[in-house]
Amino acid sequence: MFYYILIGFIVVIIALFGTGYWLKKKHSTRIGELEAKCEHLRDLPVIDELSKVKKLKLTGQTEKLFESWRSSWDEISTKLFPDVEEVLLNAEMNINHYRFGSATQDENDLEQMLVTIENQINQILNGLRELLASEEKNALESRATKEKLAELRRFILTHGFKLGKAQNAFEKELDEIQAEINQYDTLTDQGDHLEAREVILATKIKITSLDEEMERTPKLLHEAENTVPSELVKLEAGYAEMLAEGYYLEQLGIQKEMERLKKQTDKIKEKLSHREIDAAESLIHEVKVETDLLYDTLEGEVHARSFILENKEKIAEKLEKQEQVSEKLSEQIAEVKGTYHISEEELAAYLKTQASLAEQKENFARVSALQKEAAIAYSAMQDTLREIEAELAEIAEKQDAIGEDLRSLRKDELEAREDADEMKRICNQIERNLSRARLPGIPEEFAALQEHFLNSVENMEQSLVERPLNIKSVAKNRQIAKEDLAHLQEKAEDILENAKFVEAVVQYSNRYRMDYPELAESLNKAERHFYGDYNYKKALEIAVTALEKVEPSAFKKIEKAFEQTSEHE
C-alpha cells in the first residue's frame, strides 16, 4: 500500500516539475523576444539622422522642430530605455522564482512600453528624413519655378503685345512671384527649410495658374477684338440688306440687341485687361450664342416671307369659302327653325363659330393692311396666318357637325314615324298570337302593360305632331315606347309558354290523379288559377311541384318532348 502511495507522490512531483519547466521556458522565450525588440529599437539610426540634420543651418520653425525631436530622443535614451531594463530584470527574477503571474504582468508592461518607444522613434525618424528630403525637393521645385518664371518673362518680352492691356497685370504678377522666390531663398539661407517649402509650393501653384492664363489670353483677346466684332459686322450688313429689300424688322428689336452686343465686346476686353479670364470666356460664349440667335431670327424672316408668298392667298380662299359655308348654314338654320325646335345650346354653338370666323376675318384684314404699310415683320404675320388657318379648320369641323345635325332632323323624324307604325303592328301581332292560342283569358298584368305601351306610342305620335318639332323629345318618347314594347313582348311569350306547359303537365299528371289524392287536389287548384284568374305562371308552379313529388324529373321529360316537337315543326 505504501508502495503505491510513494509512486503516486513521485508522479505528482514529476508533473509539477514538468509544468513549471514548461511555463518557465515559455516566459523566458517571451522575455527574450521583448529584449530583442528593445535592442532593435536602440540600434535604430536616430543619432545618425539627428547629426545629419544638425549639420544644416537651422532657424525658425525648422529649428523648433529639430529641438523637439532631440528632446524626445533624450527622454527615450535617458529615461524610457532604463525603465525598460528595470522591468526586464524584474521579470527575469520572477520567472526564476516561478512567480509566473507577476512575470506575465511585467511582460505586458514591457510590451506596452516598447510600443510607446517605437512610435516616438518612428515619429522622430520620419520627421528628420522628411526634413532632409524637403531640402532636396525644395531645390528641385525652386529650380523649376525659377525656370518657368524666366520663360514667362521671355514670352512677355517677345510676345507681350498678344496679351493686350493685360500685359502690365501679368508683369506685376510675375514681380510678385519673383518676390516670393526671393523670400524662399532667404528662408533657405537662414535654415528655415519647412517654411521655405510652404512658400515654394504656394509659388508653384501661382505660376502654374499664371502660365495657363497667359496661354488662354491671346486666343480670347483675338476673339474679342476680331472674331466677335467681325460676326457683328456681318450681322449688321445682313440686317441692312434685308431692310433694303423691304423687310420690316423694327418690331423684332434686332438693332437694339446688336448695340447691346457691341457693348458686351467692350466688357470682354475690360475683363481681359484685369485678368478675369473665366468671366471673359463666358461672356464671349454668351455673345456668340446671342449673335447666332439673331442670325436665326433674320433667317426666320426669310422663311416667313416665303410662307406668306405661298400661303396667304390660299388662306384668303379658305376664309372666303368658310364664310360661304357659314352663310348657307345660317340659311339652313332659319329654314329648319320653322319646322324643328333648335335648342339655345345649338344656336349658341353656331353663333360662337360665326363670331370666331368674323374675328379671323378681322385678323387677316389687319395683317394684310400692315403688310401693305410695311409695318409688320414677316414672322409675326406668319404666326397670325397660321393661327387663322388653325382656327378655320376648327370652325369648319364644328360647322360641318352642326350642318350634319340639322340634316339628320328630317331623317330622325321619318324614322320615328316608321317606328311608331312598326311598334303598333307588332302589338297587333302579339294580340293575334294570344288569340290563336285560345287561352281562357288574358292576365290583368298583361293588359296593364299593353295599355302603358299604347300610351307611350300615343305620346310619341303626339310629339311628332307638335310644331316646331322637338326631335329630342321625340327621341325620348321613342325610346320609352321601345322599352315598353320589349316588356310587352316578353310578357306575351311568358303567358304562351306557361299556358302551354300547364296543359301538358296536367295532361301528364292525370295518370296519377286517381292514386294520389294530394296530387289531384293540387291539380284542381292549378286549374282554378288557369281558368279563374288566368295566372298561368302560378298554375304551372303548383302543377309541377305536385307532379315532381310523385315522379321526380317528370317536368324535364315534358320539356324535352316539347323541344323535339319544335325541332320537327
Bridge partner residues of 469 (DSSP): 340
Q: Higher model confidence: residue 479 or residue 192?
A: 479
State pLDDT tens for residues 285-318: 888 888 888 888 888 888 988 998 899 899 999 9
Nearest alpha-carbon partner for 506 in 544, 456, 454: 544
d(CA 260, CA 65): 61
d(CA 100, CA 23): 8
What is the per-residue pLDDT for 388? 92
What is the per-residue pLDDT for 15? 43
What is the per-residue pLDDT for 302? 87
Q: How many CB atoms lie within 10 A of CB 523?
A: 22
What is the per-residue pLDDT for 547? 84
State pLDDT tens for residues 310-325: 998 999 999 999 999 8
Is the predicted pLDDT of residue 17 greater than 80, yes or no?
no
d(CA 402, CA 183): 94
- Mean pLDDT, to the nearest integer, of 477-484? 87
Q: What is the pTM of this model?
A: 0.48
- Are 547 and 509 in contact by the 8 Å Cβ rule? The answer is yes
Percent of the chain with pLDDT over 70: 67
Q: Is 125 helix (H, G, I), strand (E, B) or coil?
A: helix
- Mean pLDDT, to the nearest integer, of 349-360? 89
What is the per-residue pLDDT for 129? 60
Q: What share of the chain is helix, strand, coil (3-state, %, to 5)?
A: 90, 0, 10
Of the pLDDT bands very low, low, confident and very high (cuts 50, 70, 90), residue 135 is low
Query: 181-190, 217-226, 248-257, 342-351: which range is least confident on average?
Result: 181-190
What is the per-residue pLDDT for 127? 61
Residue 189: partners with Cβ closer than 8 Å, 6 or more residues away: 57
What is the per-residue pLDDT for 425? 92
Helices (H) then strands (E): counts for the chain: 17, 0
Nearest alpha-carbon partner for 247 in 127, 83, 378: 378
Of the pLDDT bands very low, low, confident and very high (cuts 50, 70, 90), residue 366 is very high
- Mean pLDDT, to the nearest integer, of 193-221? 72
What is the per-residue pLDDT for 185? 66
What is the per-residue pLDDT for 77? 62
What is the per-residue pLDDT for 140? 66
- Are 522 and 543 in contact by the 8 Å Cβ rule? The answer is yes
Of the pLDDT bands very low, low, confident and very high (cuts 50, 70, 90), residue 41 is low
Query: 83-87, 455-459, 491-495, 538-542: which range is least confident on average?
Result: 83-87
d(CA 545, CA 122): 112
d(CA 375, CA 435): 88
d(CA 273, CA 165): 5
Task: Provide the greatest CA pair distance for the chain.
Answer: 149
What is the per-residue pLDDT for 18? 47
- Mean pLDDT, to the nearest integer, of 429-434? 88
Is the predicted pLDDT of residue 7 greater than 60, yes or no?
no
Residue 141: partners with Cβ closer than 8 Å, 6 or more residues away: 197, 200, 201, 204
- Mean pLDDT, to the nearest integer, of 106-116? 69
Report the range out of 30-39, 82-91, 273-282, 560-569 with the highest average pLDDT: 273-282
Percent of the chain with pLDDT over 90: 8
Of the pLDDT bands very low, low, confident and very high (cuts 50, 70, 90), residue 16 is very low
Query: 119-133, 207-221, 442-456: which range is least confident on average?
Result: 119-133
State pLDDT tens for residues 513-535: 888 889 889 888 988 888 888 88
State pLDDT tens for residues 373-423: 888 888 888 999 999 999 999 999 988 888 887 777 777 777 778 888 888
Residue 107: partners with Cβ closer than 8 Å, 6 or more residues away: 27, 30, 31, 34, 91
Is the predicted pLDDT of residue 56 greater than 60, yes or no?
no
Q: Higher model confidence: residue 119 or residue 14?
A: 119
Query: 147-151, 250-254, 539-543: which range is least confident on average?
Result: 147-151
Bridge partner residues of 340 (DSSP): 469
- CA geometry: angle 317, 321, 324, nearest 5 deg: 145
Three cell numbers, residue 91: 521579470
The CA radius of gyration of the chain, in Å to the nearest whole number, is: 58
Report the range out of 94-98, 121-125, 434-438 with the highest average pLDDT: 434-438
User: What does pLDDT average to over the chain?
Assistant: 77
d(CA 290, CA 438): 98
- Mean pLDDT, to the nearest integer, of 466-477? 77
Q: Could you give the angle at which helices 100-159 and 167-190 cross, rounded to 10 degrees?
A: 140
Is the predicted pLDDT of residue 569 greater than 60, yes or no?
no
Is the predicted pLDDT of residue 442 greater than 90, yes or no?
no
Three cell numbers, residue 266: 467692350
Cβ-in-10-Å burial (0-12, 13-18, 19+) of 58 comes to: buried
Left, alpha or beta for 352 (phi > 0: left; psi -120 to 50: alpha)? alpha
